[in-house]
């Protein structure tokens, strides 16, 4: 974090400053800001955030013992360390992040780009970071830091030298993205897709559209909205944003597009066309044709921010995987390929993964889909799991292995299709699935492991990858 005095921090978070020992209001703090006491280093700021499972105040003694310079708390604690008492620790974290970013922006050349969408946020964020790092110092989230805590934590990593800040914005409710946009004030806002991911939280697609639209409605006329023209729900946001619109896609009239797209077991090739008329061939090692849209979104934003075509292409060609546990290619022994894509799952991403599996399977060898629950679908869960089961049949996947009671309807849907030449098995646990794959896989087979994070199949994917490595 940039250096701020204790008095400044207290004022920014609207808190009461309680000094300890020889500390003075003018003392400067420039250490990291943490909500996890295990990450505290001497000089850090510890924000004692109440949580659904535990309370950060319980870990404040650990933070103090590890050298925290100041604690941001919701109640004064009996600890020999300077504390700032606030009404809401999460709101205080956001206010501090907003102030830090605003000061760095005012003092230099900081540009901010924010990404949202039902699918592809983390991949797009990673691609953008790779592109922007070729131009100047860039800060981007670790993992999927995209909520009301994670996004401010990323913002607080900027320094006076930071040139680009990439923020991933997720939404657990309507108003969440709007709040993050107000905190960060992005120069570029990207909307990738509108799908059924988290439909249970918003009730229906209309609620999801309203939530994701918050990315562009508060942009300024001098800002840029980067919109997926191939998604009608995203494309219509052009009418509700005051910002300049840059469209990306593979069809129709768009500013940034891909042509000659060909996917295989080693990735995807395509020709990238930028808004300025330049184009270049791209060999994109990330598996799955659906990731081309994420590449286009990142390229569109990077072009807006002044990145050259050469650097954009170089970043894409240097990217070997979307992210840990996202279309991650493992295995290799006996020509067995394991695709571990079990960090997140929605109907859209599950469909895309199955289509990729069908597309890249070796002719004459089997394709095996090990599938778990798609979480957070609410009342739509049953019919969407049915639909995925039917899609596997339509794609002629050789074998389905469905894991866990909440995913069982995929198994039922497949076995009810009498015309299918494949087979489906149901097991309760990842361990059972591991044994089933280990005992049935043949040389040359391609195995997809796909589920929501909560199903825990990402570790099954790792085990299978190790088995065939």
Q: Which residues are annotated as a binding site for ATP?
A: 117-123
Strands 337-341 and 328-331 turn out to be antiparallel
Who contacts 130 (Cβ-Cβ below 8 Å, separation ≥6)?
A: 315, 316, 318, 319
Structure tokens at 320: 């070997």
* Cβ–Cβ under 8 Å, residues 190 and 226: yes
* Cβ–Cβ under 8 Å, residues 249 and 296: yes
* Cβ–Cβ under 8 Å, residues 170 and 344: no
DSSP string over 355-415: HHHHHHSPTTS-EEEEE----S-GGGHHHHHHHHHHHHHHTT-SEEEEESGGGHHHHHHHH
Annotated binding site: 117-123
- Which of 103, 200, 192 shows the shortest CA–CA distance to 146? 192
Residue 7, CB-side half-sphere exposure with 13 Å CA sphere: 4
- Which of 374, 62, 348 shows the shortest CA–CA distance to 200? 374
Cβ neighbours around 203 below 10 Å, total: 13
User: Bridge partners of 16?
Assistant: 85
Using CA atoms, how far residue 81 sits from 18, 23, 58, 71, in Å, is 9, 9, 15, 7
Who contacts 163 (Cβ-Cβ below 8 Å, separation ≥6)?
A: 108, 109, 110, 111, 132, 135, 136, 137, 138
Three-state DSSP state, 217: helix
Three-state DSSP state, 65: helix
Q: Where are the alpha helices (DSSP H) in 147-252?
A: 150-155, 176-184, 199-202, 205-217, 232-235
Q: How far apart are CA 5 and CA 127, in angstroms?
A: 36
Structure tokens at 184: 């960060």
Using CA atoms, how far residue 113 sits from 164, 177, 191, 261, 307, in Å, is 8, 13, 11, 27, 13
Burial of 440 (0-12, 13-18, 19+ CB in 10 A): middle
């Amino acid at each position: 974090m940039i250096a701020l005095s204790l008095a400044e921090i207290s004022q920014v978070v609207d808190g009461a400053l309680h000094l300890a020992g020889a500390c003075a209001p003018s003392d400067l703090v420039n250490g990291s800001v943490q909500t996890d006491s295990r990450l505290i280093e001497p000089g850090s700021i510890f924000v004692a955030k109440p949580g659904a499972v535990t309370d950060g105040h319980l870990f404040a003694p650990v933070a103090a013992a590890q050298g925290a310079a100041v604690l941001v708390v919701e109640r004064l604690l009996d600890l020999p360390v300077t504390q700032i008492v606030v009404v809401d620790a999460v709101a205080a974290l956001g206010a501090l992040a907003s102030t830090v970013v605003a000061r760095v922006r005012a003092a230099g050349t900081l540009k901010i780009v924010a990404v949202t969408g039902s699918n592809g946020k983390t991949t797009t964020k990673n691609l953008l970071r790779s592109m922007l790092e070729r131009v100047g110092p860039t800060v981007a989230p670790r993992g999927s830091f995209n909520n009301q805590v994670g996004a401010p934590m990323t913002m607080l990593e900027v320094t006076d030298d930071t040139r680009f800040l990439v923020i991933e914005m997720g939404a657990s409710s309507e108003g969440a993205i709007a709040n993050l946009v107000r905190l960060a004030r992005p120069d570029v806002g990207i909307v990738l897709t509108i799908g059924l991911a988290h439909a249970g939280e918003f009730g229906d697609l209309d609620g999801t559209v309203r939530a994701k639209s918050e990315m562009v409605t508060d942009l300024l006329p001098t800002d840029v909205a980067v919109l997926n023209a191939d998604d009608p729900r995203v494309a219509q946001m052009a009418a509700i944003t005051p910002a300049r619109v840059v469209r990306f896609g593979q069809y129709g009239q768009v500013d940034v597009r891909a042509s000659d797209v060909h996917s295989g077991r080693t990735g995807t090739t395509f020709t990238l066309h930028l808004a300025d008329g330049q184009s270049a061939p791209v060999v994109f090692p990330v598996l799955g044709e659906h990731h081309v849209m994420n590449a286009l979104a990142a390229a569109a934003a990077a072009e807006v921010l002044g990145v050259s075509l050469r650097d954009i292409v170089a970043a894409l060609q240097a990217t070997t995987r979307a992210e840990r546990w996202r279309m991650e290619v493992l295995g290799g022994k006996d020509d067995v390929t394991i695709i571990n894509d079990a960090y997140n799952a929605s109907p859209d991403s599950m469909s895309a993964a199955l289509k990729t599996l069908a597309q890249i399977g070796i002719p004459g060898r089997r394709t095996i889909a090990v599938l778990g629950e798609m979480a957070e679908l609410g009342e739509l869960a049953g019919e969407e799991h049915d639909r995925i089961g039917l899609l596997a049949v339509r794609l002629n996947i050789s074998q389905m292995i469905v894991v866990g009671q909440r995913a069982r309807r995929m198994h039922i849907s497949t076995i009810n299709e009498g015309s299918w030449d494949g087979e489906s098995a149901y097991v309760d646990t990842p361990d059972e699935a591991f044994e089933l794959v280990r005992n049935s896989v043949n040389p040359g087979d391609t195995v997809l492991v796909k589920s929501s994070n909560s199903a825990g199949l990402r570790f099954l994917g790792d085990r299978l990858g190790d088995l065939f490595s």
